[in-house]
């Protein structure tokens, strides 16, 4: 499974006075099993790009090939495309509607035409993957849950369809710090278990630094940068010019290096920062 995007562009309200170019000549590849972080200022084109990857939007020009299938071709079944590519929008809990958690998570598998035993198996597995006990939550109303639990149920509904590509658009938006950590740990657990392509859009640079194999930076509808977290976050001045930050740990170690401390220059996480400081202090004793 891989994703190949070649020279896609998208125009909103084409031909009208308020038309705008949302994407311009974007190309990239995502390999099987990669975890990709997409960052960029509000309005940079992140969400528009995501909606092209599962066929919700069609490009004005260019080609998108997912798992060997050109989803921009005329006769492709969008139902099949969306079975393989799961998209979790911001605040997915607003889309909960069934009377119980189990029924809500089962909605997608039912529409896949699966047998009842397979549906139940998928519902249980999906709830466990998002960190919810199946027997405790399956008969509860989703509307009686906490905000973080509701979001987990909504994501479980996508996971239960076993997508080969999982796309998450700001999955921690609006959550308190504990719920944010829980959702982030959940995403990491799902990726490790399912071995699928995971694409995470977020404003949290620390989350990208912790999880991503590759980082894509969007700016005014263009792909401004594409590389490993170390490569991207070493370009502090360019990111700041786009209104973006670098991870807190990277910022801290950079400040200490500027003060004359001989520390590693590829630190991305707090754990790596702690390790670098311990190593530095040991060398001085």
Q: What is the pLDDT of residues 218-271, one digit of tens each?
A: 999 999 999 999 999 999 999 999 999 999 999 999 999 888 888 887 899 989
Q: Please check whether residue 91 lies inside any domain of the structure.
A: yes
Overall average pLDDT of the 163-189 stretch: 92
Least confident of 80-89, 122-131, 147-156, 186-195: 80-89
In the predicted structure, residue 26 carries a pLDDT above the cut 90: yes
Q: Please check whether residue 122 lies inside any domain of the structure.
A: yes
Domain hosting residue 63, numbered range? 3-246
Q: How many domains does the chain have?
A: 1
Overall average pLDDT of the 275-285 stretch: 83
CA nearest 166: which of 50, 23, 269?
50
Overall average pLDDT of the 131-138 stretch: 95
Cβ within 8 Å of residue 207, ≥6 positions away: 37, 172, 184, 200
Overall average pLDDT of the 40-46 stretch: 92
Q: Please check whether residue 269 lies inside any domain of the structure.
A: no
Q: Please check whether residue 206 lies inside any domain of the structure.
A: yes
The pLDDT assigned to 16 comes to 87
pLDDT band at 280 (very low <50, low <70, confident <90, very high): confident
Q: Which pTM does this prediction carry?
A: 0.92
Q: Please check whether residue 277 lies inside any domain of the structure.
A: no
DSSP string for the chain: --EEEEEEEEEETTTSTT-EEEEEEEEEEE-TT-EEEEEE-TTSSHHHHHHHHTTSS--SEEEEEETTEETTSTT--HHHHHHHEEEE-SSGGGG--SSSHHHHHHHHHHHTT--HHHHHHHHHHHHHHTT--HHHHTTS-GGGS-HHHHHHHHHHHHHTT--SEEEEESTTTT--HHHHHHHHHHHHHHHHHH--EEEEE-S-HHHHHHH-SEEEEEETTEEEEEE-HHHHHT-HHHHHHTT----HHHHHHHHHHHTT----S---SHHHHHHHHHHHHHHH-
Give pLDDT tens digits for 91-112. 889 889 999 999 999 999 998 8
Q: Please check whether residue 284 lies inside any domain of the structure.
A: no
Overall average pLDDT of the 179-200 stretch: 93
The pLDDT assigned to 48 comes to 94
The pLDDT assigned to 284 comes to 76
Overall average pLDDT of the 168-188 stretch: 91
CA nearest 199: which of 77, 31, 78, 21?
31
Q: Please check whether residue 257 lies inside any domain of the structure.
A: no
| CATH code for the domain of 169 | 3.40.50.300
In the predicted structure, residue 78 carries a pLDDT above the cut 80: no
Q: Please check whether residue 260 lies inside any domain of the structure.
A: no
Overall average pLDDT of the 79-89 stretch: 86
CA atoms of 24 and 100, how far apart (whole Å): 43
The pLDDT assigned to 95 comes to 87
């Amino acid at each position: 499974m891989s994703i190949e995007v070649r020279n896609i562009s998208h125009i909103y309200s084409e031909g009208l006075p308020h038309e705008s170019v949302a994407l311009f000549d974007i190309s990239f590849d995502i390999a099987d099993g990669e975890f990709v972080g997409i960052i960029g200022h509000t309005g940079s084109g992140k969400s528009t790009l995501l909606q092209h990857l599962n066929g919700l939007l069609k490009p004005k020009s260019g080609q998108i090939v997912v798992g060997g299938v050109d989803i921009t071709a005329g006769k492709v079944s969008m139902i099949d495309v969306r079975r393989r590519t799961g998209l979790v929008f911001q605040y997915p809990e607003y889309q909960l509607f069934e009377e119980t958690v189990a029924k809500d998570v089962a909605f997608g598998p039912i529409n896949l035409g699966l047998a009842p035993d397979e549906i139940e198996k998928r519902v249980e597995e999906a709830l466990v993957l998002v960190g919810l006990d199946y027997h405790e939550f399956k008969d509860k109303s989703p509307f009686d849950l906490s905000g973080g639990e509701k979001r987990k149920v909504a994501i479980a509904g996508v996971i239960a369809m076993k997508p080969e590509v999982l796309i998450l658009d700001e999955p921690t938006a609006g959550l308190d710090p504990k719920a944010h950590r829980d959702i982030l740990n959940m995403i990491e657990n799902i990726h490790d278990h399912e071995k699928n392509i995971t694409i995470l859009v977020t404003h949290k640079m620390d989350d990208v630094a912790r999880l991503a194999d590759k980082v894509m930076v969007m700016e005014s509808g263009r792909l401004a940068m594409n590389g490993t977290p170390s490569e991207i976050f070493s370009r502090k001045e360019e990111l700041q010019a786009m209104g973006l930050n670098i991870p807190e740990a990277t910022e801290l170690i950079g400040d200490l290096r500027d003060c004359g401390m001989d520390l590693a220059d590829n630190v991305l996480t707090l754990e790596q920062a702690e390790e670098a400081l311990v190593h530095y202090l040991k060398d001085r004793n």
